[in-house]
């Protein structure tokens, strides 16, 4: 049997395990704080835990580790990390500096199997899911490296978080727990290409996070061309799931819309988008598509993007144009993973 990563366990699960070893429940709280508040990387560091228990723990469990393989700093201050996991696989994490604080973009899988034609992360398929501890470690290792706290998290790095549902949810619960980093769920966004049954499942959990939907097209036919997930779930089914999500959670949904020249940037697209969002509490993020090797797409012209935004606003849709950070180090959306295989 392979060893289990102790930092992937939620507090209740840790309690169960620790009491099973004959220790008091509060000891689980101590270990949890060592792992998630202080970022302990070994059981030896946990000096207020009895030596015999520490020995038992290190025989039965491990603490997953991350090491920096490469670090690139953009002229706008964005940092891209190439982190190596315990098994040698690599993932990327991006740290963005804003006036309101540090925001981190974490990966949820090694590679991705969703196959969106404009995205670099999926070009070689999925290798494996990340454990919750491996998503958490991206935050801890980055905070340690910069010597500052992270205040916002976006699950928009490599991978599809809803294709790694349980671990993504465990990550959110642990990172937002008072005995952990206590990062408010309000400051966490989860981005998905739209795995419809998982959106319904997520709604039931009533988390306080922001759900971001990568929409990028306004009809099922058009979306099938760039986003294969649309073969499984139509745009109509996706929008129904979004309406249901808002109804159940009372949370506003954010829609990502990459602007691709000649593909999805016409007046009719803007009109259709407004119609899809009619009556919903939503926000649209317009993202000029970033160039990715081997993909034929180019960005819509700035004037076209601004006109698209104006059109949406006239139709009472809340829309902003996303700032492009880290382009000089290929850290922008869709550019991760390519250079480091």
- Active-site residue numbers? 92, 333
**Rounded distance between C-alpha atoms, residue 341 and residue 338, angstroms:** 7
Selected range binding ligand SAH among 88-96, 169-177, 191-199, 264-272, rule: CB under 6 A: 191-199
Pairing status of strand 79-85 against strand 66-73 = antiparallel
Is residue 256 part of the contact set for ligand SAH (CB under 6 A)?
yes
187: Cβ contacts below 8 Å, ≥ 6 apart: 151, 152, 153
**Rounded distance between C-alpha atoms, residue 284 and residue 282, angstroms:** 7
Is residue 191 part of the contact set for ligand SAH (CB under 6 A)?
yes
- Least Å distance, CB 327 to ligand SAH, is 10
- Least Å distance, CB 229 to ligand SAH, is 8
Q: Which residue is nearest to ligand SAH (CB)?
A: 334
**Rounded distance between C-alpha atoms, residue 66 and residue 87, angstroms:** 10
**Rounded distance between C-alpha atoms, residue 234 and residue 153, angstroms:** 29
Selected range binding ligand SAH among 112-120, 124-132, 273-281, 312-320, rule: CB under 6 A: 112-120
Identify which of residues 45 and 76 has a Cβ nearer to ligand SAH in the complex: 76
Return the DSSP state at 299: B
What HEC string does 193-210 produce?
CCCHHHHHHHHHHCCCCE
- Least Å distance, CB 46 to ligand SAH, is 35
Selected range binding ligand SAH among 77-85, 174-182, 265-273, 282-290, rule: CB under 6 A: 282-290
Residues 2-31 that bind ligand SAH (CB under 6 A): none
Is residue 329 part of the contact set for ligand SAH (CB under 6 A)?
no
Which residues sit opposite 128 in a β-bridge? 110
Residue listed under structure tokens 């540090």: 102
- Least Å distance, CB 326 to ligand SAH, is 12
Selected range binding ligand SAH among 8-16, 89-97, 177-185, 188-196, rule: CB under 6 A: 188-196
Is residue 134 part of the contact set for ligand SAH (CB under 6 A)?
no
Q: Positive or negative, the Cα torsion across 44, 45, 47, 53? A: negative
Of 79, 287, 305, 319, the one binding ligand SAH (CB under 6 A) is 287
Identify which of residues 53 and 321 has a Cβ nearer to ligand SAH in the complex: 321
Identify which of residues 49 and 193 has a Cβ nearer to ligand SAH in the complex: 193
- Least Å distance, CB 116 to ligand SAH, is 6
CB count within 10 Å of CB 249 equals 18
Q: Positive or negative, the Cα torsion across 227, 233, 236, 242? A: negative
Is residue 193 part of the contact set for ligand SAH (CB under 6 A)?
yes
- Least Å distance, CB 281 to ligand SAH, is 19
Joined together, the tokens standing for residue 308 give: 């698209």
**Is residue 199 a contact partner of residue 211, using CB atoms and an 8 Å limit?**
yes
113: Cβ contacts below 8 Å, ≥ 6 apart: 122, 125, 126, 160, 163
**Is residue 254 a contact partner of residue 214, using CB atoms and an 8 Å limit?**
no
Residues 293-322 that bind ligand SAH (CB under 6 A): none
Of 32, 34, 81, 118, the one binding ligand SAH (CB under 6 A) is 118
Would you tell me which residues interact with ligand SAH (CB under 6 A)? 114, 118-119, 156, 160, 191-193, 214, 216, 256, 258, 287, 289-290, 292, 333-334
């Amino acid at each position: 049997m392979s060893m289990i990563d102790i930092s992937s366990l939620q507090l209740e699960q840790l309690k169960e395990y620790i009491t099973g070893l004959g220790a008091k429940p509060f000891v689980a709280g101590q270990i949890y704080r060592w792992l998630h508040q202080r970022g302990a990387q070994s059981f030896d560091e946990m000096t207020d835990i009895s030596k015999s228990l520490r020995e038992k723990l290190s025989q039965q469990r491990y603490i997953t580790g991350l090491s920096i393989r490469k670090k690139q700093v953009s002229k706008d201050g964005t940092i891209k990390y190439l982190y190596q996991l315990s098994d040698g696989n690599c993932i990327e994490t991006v740290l963005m500096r804003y006036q309101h604080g540090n925001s981190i973009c974490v990966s949820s899988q090694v590679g991705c199997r969703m196959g969106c034609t404009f995205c670099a992360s999926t070009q070689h398929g999925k290798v494996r899911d990340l454990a919750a501890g491996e998503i958490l470690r991206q935050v801890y290792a980055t905070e340690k490296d910069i010597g500052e706290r992270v205040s916002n998290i976006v699950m928009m790095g490599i991978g599809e978080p809803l294709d790694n549902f349980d671990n993504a949810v465990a990550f959110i619960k642990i990172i937002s727990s008072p005995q952990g980093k206590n990062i408010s769920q309000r400051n966490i966004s989860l981005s998905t290409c739209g795995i419809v049954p998982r959106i319904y499942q997520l709604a039931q959990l009533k988390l306080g996070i922001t759900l971001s939907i990568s929409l990028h097209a306004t009809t099922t036919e058009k979306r099938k061309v760039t986003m294969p997930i649309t073969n499984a779930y139509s745009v109509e089914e996706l929008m129904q799931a979004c309406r249901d999500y808002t109804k159940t959670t009372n949370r506003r949904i954010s829609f990502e819309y990459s602007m691709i020249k000649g593909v999805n940037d016409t007046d009719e697209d803007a009109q259709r988008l407004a119609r899809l969002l009619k009556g919903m509490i939503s926000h649209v993020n317009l993202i000029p598509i970033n160039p990715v090797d081997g993909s034929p797409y180019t960005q819509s012209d700035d004037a076209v993007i601004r006109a698209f935004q104006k059109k949406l606003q006239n139709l009472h849709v809340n829309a902003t144009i996303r700032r492009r950070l880290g382009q000089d180090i290929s850290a922008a959306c869709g550019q991760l993973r390519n250079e480091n295989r």
